[in-house]
Amino acid sequence: MKLLTLFLALATSCTFPLLLLAQDTTQDAAQDQKSTESGPDFTRGDTIPEDSKKDWNLGPTGMRGWIHSDKLVTKDARQILVTQVQPNSSADGIFLPGDVILGAGGKPFSSDPRTEFAHNKAPGNSI
């Protein structure tokens, strides 16, 4: 698997570099590792738990993403799994459902990815 920094030009005329995990279809024994307190590890092939289908609007990107939460609190998560990309949105053609966002501003998420993502979306900031 490889990490890419992508630039996403949004309707607000801002540019957002995101850390994105490129999909790798190869499976290995390490991908069978159990989820931790921070939720599923999508970089290891984990899937969204059956009892947790809530996904979040990712602002003006035109994307929705699943973020591990405990009673809708996402502070322990460190990944966003892209679940939808709206056609003709700024993310269309750049992101696909199943992509994993690992950070913002060129750095891995160090706290709640939902708030880090939102803070870096402000005009003039980079994600």
Domain that holds residue 82: 3-119
Domains identified in the chain, total number: 1
Nearest to 115 by CA among 61, 36, 59, 64: 59
In sequence order, which residues have a C-beta less than 8 Å from that of residue 63 and are 6 or more positions away? 82, 84, 85, 86, 89, 91, 95
pLDDT at 67: 93
Tell me whether residue 105 is in a domain: yes
Tell me whether residue 126 is in a domain: no
End-to-end Cα spacing for the chain: 21
- The string of pLDDT tens digits covering residues 64-114 is 999 998 888 899 999 999 999 999 998 899 899 999 999 888 889 999 998
Tell me whether residue 84 is in a domain: yes
Tell me whether residue 110 is in a domain: yes
Least confident of 3-17, 48-62, 66-80: 3-17
Give CA–CA dist 79/113, Å, rounded: 7
Q: What is the mean pLDDT of residues 10-23?
A: 45
CA angle 36, 72, 37 (to 5 degrees): 10
Give CA–CA dist 95/35, Å, rounded: 24
Tell me whether residue 28 is in a domain: yes
Tell me whether residue 49 is in a domain: yes
Tell me whether residue 39 is in a domain: yes
Residue 23, pLDDT > 60, answer: no
Tell me whether residue 127 is in a domain: no
